[in-house]
Chain A
Amino acid sequence: MVNEEEIEQVAKLMKIDVHDHKEFVEKVHNMINYFDILDSAGVEDEEFQIRDLPLTHLRTDRHIPYEEKLIERLKHYKGTFVRAPKMI
């Protein structure tokens, strides 16, 4: 059973400000609790597949020129840098 503190901690780590705190936490709480149905699926011994993709299936790693200067579409840039808030 998940508790409110855990939900709040995840929201903080995901850099999300939560409004309507009580209602929001309650809804997320209900959603996560619904996922508990997975406990009764009886899949503990099941293996799950991870799709292997051979390197030959990947496209060639080569430079594809793009005609437009995409950086000029950004809101805050200087030269080839994007302006961001200070880190500390």
Chain B
Amino acid sequence: MNLKISALDYVNEVKNGNISVEDFVFATIERIKKIDGSLHAFLEVNPQAVENARIIDKKIKSGTKVGDCFGMPISIKDNICIKDSKTTCASKMLENFIAPYDATVISKLKEQDAIFVGKTNLDEFAMGLTTEFSAYGPSRNPWNPDYVPGGSSGGSAVSVSAYECVASLGSDTGGSVRNPASFCSVVGFKPTYGLISRYGLISYANSIEQIGPIARTVRDTAFFLNILSGLDPNDNTTIDLGKQDFLEDIDSGIAGKKIGVIQEMIGEGIDPTVLSATKEAVSKLEGLGATCEDISIDMVKYSVASYYTITATEAGSNLARYDNLRYGYEFPVEGYEFNSYISKARTKFGPEVIRRMILGGFVPSSGQAGKYFLKALKVKSKLTKEVSEAFKKYDYLVAPTVPILPFKIGEKIDDPVALFLVDINTVIANLTGIPSISIPFSISNGLPIGIQLLAKHNDDKSLLQAARALETTVKLPEVPI
């Protein structure tokens, strides 16, 4: 069974009767059993997956209408709720939490007959960019298991890269879909804020985070956007772009388009091989008929501080609900005073979550808000203006997704500020709400490099066309696992 096929090829193979859903899903589960012990992409594997596949095969044989996914095996980041399934956020705090409802994205995938093969690993509550902050141990990069796979949707990216599923859903608050996509050599997409409902995504920083697909190809990404996008009465931040077919005209190319190369993202601190790959990408974009010019976005250098100030503030508020009273782990209340009980219960949070909660209490507090939180909002506002100005002149912006190569597990875990700076190229899409995509572009010393393209608000379809054009110029080796 060829588990390496794209989502669109999978659909065609099943439609044409060349493969059965049961055989494909069974082979997928067997692969997970065989290799996930060394990669740790999954926190839980769905024991019903093969049975669900049989049901879809029966629907196909009986001529009953089948959804667009045709039983496609998909993995889901473990901060997205699937009814009656464990949703742990990779935290001991939610070790036994069973979601009482489906996230909107899950409902939409169920309607299209997707099969969920399992829940994937992440940094605890999506706070991190290496998956090392998972309370259940790190995921490992399939290109080299000694290296981080990126994060926080590291398990999702690993599962797609290592052929443990056809596609996955992650969440992207500051690059958490694009960063691991880049490190694992798969496609990761952060849509315009509001294009995909966040209902059922466990909140970290509501004002900037989005659910996004991780897939093998840009065309697969467009396929999933067709399913996942749209207004949701349960999420008032969703936007109405009308009925768009993101796959239509995806091969229309970028001839005549203007692209800005963000200088602040290829400057100080960039790995030389990443810089070289970026120059090669720019050359290829020009070869496709686009015009590329250098552009400066001054606020980029303050964007990481702004991002962490805003996200910590929102996290401090969002995580206040974890008092172990309404849900949480087994810990009797007898013998405790109210505040000491909550403090004791919260020792189940990992160190990074604790740090960000304290930051989230500090930066908006009386006497500090003007210096930190309000200034962060002002940077966000000015950055948004600068990016809007850039899009008056350019159709797209380009930069490396991450300025450095994947690094060894444990290498940066004790230096939070060094980890902050890995986010510098991805956070602007979240702070400004614009769409952004990471495309596998190069392999250097056996480690992947991704290129990031960005477009203006609501230009997700056009962005996919540009990404598809760049993708056609790239031929990469297969993952060595």
Contact = CB atoms under 8 A, between A and B. Distances in A.
A22 interface: no
Given A7-B358, A38-B306, A76-B333, A30 B378 contact: no
A28 B333 contact: no
B337 interface: yes
Contacts of B323: 15
B336 to A, nearest CB: 4
A18 B301 CA distance: 32
Interface residues of A, number: 49
A17 B347 contact: yes
Given A11-B358, A17-B343, A38-B305, A84 B236 contact: no
Contacts of A5: none
A48 B381 contact: yes
Range of interface residues on chain B? 35 or more
Contacts, number: 144
B309 interface: yes
Contact of B338 (A19, A46, A59, A85): A85
A48 B302 contact: no
Given A17-B344, A35-B372, A38-B375, A74 B338 contact: no
B358 to A, nearest CB: 5
Contacts of B98: 73
B305 A37 contact: yes
Interface in B362-388: 362-363, 365, 371-372, 374-382, 384
Interface in B212-240: 233-234, 236
B73 interface: no
Interface in B32-72: none
A7 to B, nearest CB: 7
B381 A38 contact: no
A19 B347 contact: yes
Contact of A10 (B301, B361, B417): B361
Nearest to B359: A31
B346 A15 contact: yes
A68 B98 CA distance: 13
Contacts of B416: 27, 30-31
A74 B362 CA distance: 32
A2 to B, nearest CB: 7
Given A15-B346, A35-B309, A70 B357 contact: no
A85 B336 contact: yes
Contact of B100 (A13, A43, A68): A68
Interface string B379-409: 1111010000000000000000000000000
A83 interface: yes
Interface in B336-364: 336-344, 346-347, 349, 351, 354-355, 357-363
B236 A57 contact: yes
Interface in B315-351: 316, 320, 323, 325-328, 330, 333, 336-344, 346-347, 349, 351
Interface in A30-62: 30-32, 34-35, 37-41, 43-44, 46-49, 53, 57-59
A73 B96 CA distance: 11
A86 interface: yes
A34 B420 contact: yes
A28 B339 contact: no
A59 B361 contact: no
Contacts of B376: 35, 38
A73 B86 CA distance: 13
Interface in B281-323: 299, 301-302, 305-306, 308-309, 316, 320, 323
Contacts of A43: 302, 375, 378-379, 381-382
A19 B308 CA distance: 23
19 contacts: A11-B361, A14-B320, A14-B358, A24-B355, A30-B417, A31-B416, A38-B305, A38-B306, A38-B379, A40-B302, A41-B375, A43-B378, A47-B381, A48-B374, A59-B234, A59-B236, A73-B327, A74-B327, A75-B327
